[in-house]
Amino acid sequence: MRGQDRSGLGVMRWGTAFGAALAGLLVFAFGALSQDAAPVHIVPRLTGATEPMADMRAPPLDRPVTDDVRRMRNYPEQPPIIPHSIDGYQLTVNTNRCLDCHKREFTEGSGAPMISITHFQDRDGQVLSDVTPRRYFCTACHVQQTDARALVPNLFQDANDIGRKR
């Protein structure tokens, strides 16, 4: 636009840019200083004294509970625990030893409970004739019961034990 006076407009832009840069630098500097004062460990360590990325031997697993007693679940939809030893079970893309007993056609001979019908449904809800790939690796959800001590105190109470009694 010819004829308009633009003097001062460039100075104003430089002043605004300088002020924004200075404010950003101050925010960055105070943020960095406040991080140095923060505590290093917010959560108590459960791994011992070894540094997190250091090489160390894994402690031996606790003894498996092998009484084959089905345990009550602690909450709805909790995956059942494995009430027997699974040492040496092969669980790979090609082999799943769990299915040797828990697949529908083998439960009568083995006496093992059949895997849930949900394990045959794909992500779209379609029922397949075999275990769906997303439920194939059993130990992703199911764990073996052991006699391990609790790492943290557990004050869990069943919903039936809380509240008004009849």
127 and 66 within one domain: yes
Residue owning tokens 């090609």: 94
Which residues are CB-contacts of 148 (< 8 A; sequence separation ≥ 6)? 62
CB 49 within 8 A of CB 41: no
pLDDT at 97: 92
Portion of the chain with pLDDT greater than 90, in percent: 17
Domain that holds residue 72: 62-149
Given a cut of 70, whether residue 41 has pLDDT beyond it is no
CB 126 within 8 A of CB 133: no
Residue 165 lies in a domain: no
91 and 17 within one domain: no
Q: Measured in Å, how far apart are the chain's first and last C-alpha atoms?
A: 86
Average pLDDT score over residue span 90-100: 90
Residue 50 lies in a domain: no
How many structural domains is the chain composed of? 2
Residue 26 lies in a domain: yes
Residue 52 lies in a domain: no
Amino acid at site 152: V
> pTM of the prediction?
0.56
